[in-house]
Amino acid sequence: MRYRFQPILSAILVVSAAAAQQQPLPDVPALMREVQAHQSQMEKARENYTFAERSVTTELNKDGSVKKTETEEDEVFFVNTHEVQRKVKKNGQPLSPGEQQKETERVTKEVEKAQKTPPGQSSNGDEITVGRMLQIMKTSAPRREMLDGRSTIAFDFTGDPHADTHSRAENATKKIAGTVWIDEHDLQVRRLIATFDGDFHAGFGLFTLVKGSSFVFDQKLVNNELWLPVSAHVHIVAKAIGFLGYRGEIAMEDGNYQRFHVDAEPATAAGAVRPPAP
């Protein structure tokens, strides 16, 4: 008699998933405090890594058809928890020697600024970490869901209108709502999906990010070492005084993570010297 293992395996998985759903959920405030602590630790630890990022920016017409598409390839590293990007290709073409020189000068200034900006604080008003976003969230409807075969705790969230904020990006977080998935074993953010539930005015009121703009952010365990960003997708609907509205999509893919040798001298990242932490 031949055993049919596939139906048996499927039944086991269904029963296991059902059993997991019946397990009591952890204390939500305590869980979020742990997640915030783990996320902050990860944001410090990722300074030991450099990675490649490819972004595709698509400008759309009002009817949703493609107006223009541009690509960019960057090498990314972190200084004092702040992300620094160095452009290496534009629309598939390497930078010219002159463009490389300008990019090196720009990156050097960004590194110097990052060294002087405390961890977790924005150096230009437009930067916010996932850990900081978690502090501005009000969560609800906790439940257990499976992602990539791993158990996660999912929450719906809205921005806390009473949160103490210090930058444009933090103020914008008060206007978003969405869902965040927390890996239950590692207590790290696995996925975050957010939509602006109201218009957000920036640039002294000259620029408005319109309700309905959204973004998706994904992290995964890389090389069984560290949870790191792997992709993001941004949908932008904006308008500015004196200009027609802007609609666009930005898709980013991160990969080729490389770890610095901890016993080596400060490593170079993308042709710019990665300085020691101040």
- Residue with the two structure tokens 């207590």: 187
pLDDT at 125: 56
Q: Are strands 137-147 and 93-94 parallel, antiparallel or unpaired?
A: unpaired
pLDDT at 192: 94
Query: pLDDT higher for 98 or 123?
Result: 98
Query: Are 131 and 39 a contacting pair, CB within 8 Å?
Result: yes
Q: Where residue 60 falls among pLDDT bands split at 50, 70, 90?
A: confident
Asked whether the predicted pLDDT for residue 243 surpasses 80, the reply is no
* CATH no. for 5-78+127-262: 2.50.20
Q: What is the mean pLDDT of residues 231-247?
A: 74
Query: pLDDT higher for 211 or 249?
Result: 249
Asked whether the predicted pLDDT for residue 47 surpasses 80, the reply is yes
Q: What is the mean pLDDT of residues 241-248?
A: 64
pLDDT at 196: 85
Residues 102-144: tens digit of each pLDDT: 999 999 999 999 899 888 676 655 667 788 888 888 999 999 9
In this structure, the number of other CB atoms found within 10 A of the CB of residue 54 comes to 15
- Report percent pLDDT > 90 for the chain: 39
Q: What is the mean pLDDT of residues 176-205?
A: 82
Q: Where residue 39 falls among pLDDT bands split at 50, 70, 90?
A: confident
Q: 246 CB contacts (<8 Å, ≥6 apart)?
A: 59, 236, 237, 238, 239, 240
pLDDT at 141: 93
Which amino acid, residue 187?
L
Asked whether the predicted pLDDT for residue 145 surpasses 80, the reply is yes
Q: What is the mean pLDDT of residues 6-20?
A: 44
Which amino acid, residue 100?
Q
Q: 1 CB contacts (<8 Å, ≥6 apart)?
A: none
C-alpha angle 195-188-181 in degrees, rounded to nearest 5? 40
pLDDT at 201: 58
Asked whether the predicted pLDDT for residue 46 surpasses 50, the reply is yes
Mean pLDDT of the chain: 80
Per domain, the residue ranges of the chain are 5-78+127-262
pLDDT at 144: 94
**pTM to 2 decimal places:** 0.77
Half-sphere exposure of 140 (CA within 13 A, CB side): 7
Q: What is the mean pLDDT of residues 32-54?
A: 88
